[in-house]
Structure 1
Amino acid sequence: MHSPHPEPDRRDTLIARTGIAYFPLALVARLPFAMSVVGVLTLLVSVRGSVELAGLGSAVVGIASAVFGPLIGAAADRFGQRPTLLATAGVNSVALGLLAWTAMSPLPPLAVFAAAFLVGASVPQTSPMSRSRLVTIIRTELPAERRPRTISTVLAYESAADELVFVFGPVIVGLLATTLGAWAPIAGAAALTLLFVTAFALHRTSVSATSPAERAATLAPAAELLRPALLVVVLGIFAVGTVFGSTLTSLTAFMQARGSAESAGLFYGVMGVGSAILAICAALFSPRFTLRMRWLVFASCIVIGEAILASASAPGRGVGTVALGLAITGIGIGPLLVTLYGFGAGRSPEGRSATVMTMLGSGIMLGQSLSAAATGIVAESQGLAAALLLPLCAGAATVLTGAANWLLTPRTAR
């Protein structure tokens, strides 16, 4: 006699489709980019002796990645992830080697910037492509009743993985640079790219290329990417990027004023670790706590945290105020990123998943690069108090985009 409540088939799980080795592989494969941005900064400061040159070189890497990321995502949607990742991994490894050679040569700064631009333009978009792969598998291969919860869990995990990589990437750079030399982080990033991004590209989950006929039938027009409901998500994640860049730069200026600039990374980790933990917890939220509501709630947490951080320059305030502000900011950032990627996945036009995910990843990088440069200029010209106000302005932008999204999201949408 059959049970009226049969047990679920273990083969109908995401891990059964991907294999358990997929997740550590995808985690390590996204590490080189986190190492590259900080590694370029470390290398140029050490070899060229100019903080200004190093900051500009690092910003060039981030901006080039933001500009070319969506094009790489579009290539993956059109030709498949495997050839796209293999090509970018090869070019990026060579570009990292070229950058190291150029930095240590007598060539002018323009040559260094050109090499840095090539590094950023060829970054393998591992993180957004992993999101695209997993969401595609869930939507096409798992039972319909499991899809919403599984997608929420996957996006929470992916956001937490990104947070951890960007927290520990600089730590690895510091260890390699102090033990082996300033060239070691760049060499390590090149080696990891060649080995692990190639393995990620060849993994059986890699989205295959489609024929011209299949693309015509399943690929939505590019104009679909310009819908207001999708663009507001891109603007929202760009605002989160400005929170990252302005917070780190103003925090560095604050610690430098106290004679302890090297400890800025440790305090920044307070925000990063808390953000990663809360991102994982986002998968446990009730469906009644809708995505559009989450955007406004967690963006408000960022504003509160950054307001506390902005008050740290007042007399009688100190590192305790900074730590509290960063902790509250982290409570908002992790779940907000999960929410934004959830909107991105839900609003992706058919066949454009990788493009949308790289648009979102590029939005973070562009916001981070531009705000870091702007905050540095403000700190130099207007002082610390003015610089500490910029993260608060960035937090306010996340609330404003959340309000716009509220108006663009139907009341019944979850």
Structure 2
Amino acid sequence: MVGQYRGLFGTPGAKGFVITGFIGRIPMSMLGIGVVLLVSAITGSYATAGAVSAVFSLAYAMAAPVSGRLVDRFGQAKVLVPFALLHGVALSGLMVCAHATAPIWTLFATGAAAGATATSLGSMVRARWSHVLKDSSQLHTAFSFESVADEVIFVGGPAFVTALATTVNVYAGIIVAIVLTLVGTLAFSVLRGTEPPAVRHREHAGSPIAIPGVALLSAVFLAMGAVFGSVDVITVAFADEQGSKVAAGFLLASLSGGSMVSGLWYGSRHWKISLRSRFIRGLSIFAVGLTPVLLMNDIRPMAVALFFAGLAISPTLITGFSLIERLVPTSQLTEGMSWISTSIGFGVAIGAWAGGHLTDVYGASNAYGFTFACALAAAVVGVAGSTLVRMEHRTN
């Protein structure tokens, strides 16, 4: 298994963009729960906390295709540097408003600004892999590695930010996220040798979302994003109901841990079945795997249930990015991949808002019903429209 991944790093420049890209996107697992912990501590309401987190995710989702298109046109470095600096300023503003107990609308305004200036660094790392690797089997392994890297981040990030917020202070997690964003993103930006070339003067082309297969994948990942967003908020409340709020990070790490294990296994295999078939199977397992979560009422069995629920996440995401890479023209690759991030972001926004509201009204255990419904919707939409991704080729 390890040998498949080791071969990737003989590619010139790969170690640099992998390491800096990893550091720069660690905050993606910290900010959602970090905002929930901060706002819930200040306001005492999970509904408000979920709504602010939703606005953050919604703003990010709306801005990601725009920043992706700018990257395709002007290059990664010219876009990432100003966006990273503005993102740090916006998050600082959110903390200042919270500390000053400013009106609630200021939390929404600064949260929206922070989301709008966040960038899809994971998409840009994958675009670099697509640029430096020409062999499809190597690219499959590279995308699998990046998905595993994302899951490593999601294993450690929630526990890390929860520990900082509950043992240091509620601002510590977001402060660390700002530092990691700036250090990682700025270091990534200076690595110009592996940066895909900008396409300043291309033929007028519509957005990749107009491609039917991309539209289908976006709808599926919208529903999956709602699963992720609702789980973040509901699980914090679930741990709080069980008398151990700090265990929320452990529970969320269990979900990501299952995804990380399956991602390592998935990426190490040479698959004979089509991407379309793998995508359908991943979605089906994803929905079935969430069923036990509905039945748990204690932290330890919930951790086990969340681990098994996470097993289908990485394979499904890896397959989705691989399908995008084959469906979208090379000159629009970053924007095309950003549509997955956008869809997940919209879903996270919906899930965070709904999860917080349902938790306040019905309690955390019952609110997980919404999470399962979203997973089921992702599977139904994906299976019903799977013929739209049958064309697995890339237009240059």
State the TM-score, normalizing by the size of structure 1.
0.85
The question of 1:110 aligning with 2:105 is answered yes
Q: Give the Cα–Cα distance (whole angstroms) in 2 for the partners of residues 335 and 284 of structure 1.
A: 11
Q: C-alpha displacement at 1:413, in angstroms?
A: 7.6
Instruction: Describe how 1:269-348 pairs up with structure 2 within 5 A.
Output: 269-312=253-296, 318-319=298-299, 321-348=301-328
Question: What does residue 143 of structure 1 align with?
Answer: none
CA distance change for structure 1 residues 384 and 37 in 2, over 3 Å: closer, same or farther?
closer
Equivalent in 357, 362, 366 of residue 337 of structure 2:
357
Aligned CA RMSD, in angstroms, stands at 2.6
Whether 1:396 aligns to 2:376 is: yes
Mapping of residues 36-115 of structure 1, within 5 Å:
36-115=31-110
Residue 148 of structure 1 pairs with residue 132 of structure 2: no
The one-letter code matched in structure 2 to 1:287 is W
| Corresponding residue to 1:374 among 345, 351, 354 | 354
* Aligned partner letter, 1:133: R
Deviation at 1:256, TM superposition (A): 4.0
Q: Does the aligned pair in 2 maintain the 1:124–1:197 contact within 8 Å?
A: no
Aligned residue in 2 for 1:142? none
Contact 1:301–1:328 (Cα < 8 Å) also in 2? no
Q: CA deviation at 1:303?
A: 2.0
Q: 1:36 to 1:231 in 2, by over 3 A?
A: same
SS across alignment from 2:318: helix
User: Does the 8 Å CA contact 2:148/2:264 hold for their aligned counterparts?
Assistant: yes
Taking the aligned partners of 2:389 and 2:185, their CA distance within structure 1 comes to 37
Distance 1:309 1:78 in 2: 44
Contact 1:348 1:356 in 2 (8 A): yes
Higher RCO (CA < 8 A, seq sep 6+): 2
Pick the structure with greater CA Rg.
1
Gap runs ≥5 in structure 2: 1-6
Gaps of 5+ in 1: 1-11, 140-146
Cα deviation for residue 74 of structure 1 reads 0.8
Task: Give yes or no for the alignment of 1:187 onto 2:182.
Answer: no
Does structure 1 retain, via aligned residues, the 8 Å contact 2:47–2:353?
A: no
Q: What per-residue deviation string (whole Å, max 9, x for no partner) do you get for residues 262-311 of structure 1?
A: 42331222221110121122123343222111122222222222222223
Pick one of 353, 362, 367 that aligns with 1:387: 367
Q: Which residue of 2 aligns with 1:176?
A: 164
Q: 1:207 aligns with which of 196, 202, 206?
A: 196
How far apart are the structure 1 equivalents of 2:95 and 2:237? 28
- For residue 122 of structure 2, what is the aligned residue in structure 1? 127
Matched residue SS, 1:234: helix
CA distance, structure 1, for counterparts of residue 310 and residue 387 of structure 2: 26
| Range with bigger deviation, 298-307 or 353-362 | 298-307
Distance 1:99 1:372, change over 3 A: closer
Mapped pair 1:247 → 2:194:
no
Is contact 1:302-1:328 (8 Å) kept? no
Percent of counterpart pairs with the same letter?
A: 27
Aligned residues between the structures = 387
Q: How far off is 1:254 after superposition? A: 4.1
Deviation at 1:29, TM superposition (A): 0.9
* 1:109, distance to aligned residue in structure 2 (A): 1.3
Shift of 1:106: 4.5
Q: Residues 409 and 197 of structure 1: is their aligned pair in 2 closer, same or farther, counting only changes over 3 Å?
A: closer
In structure 1, how many angstroms separate the alpha carbons of the residues matched to 2:87 and 2:323? 30
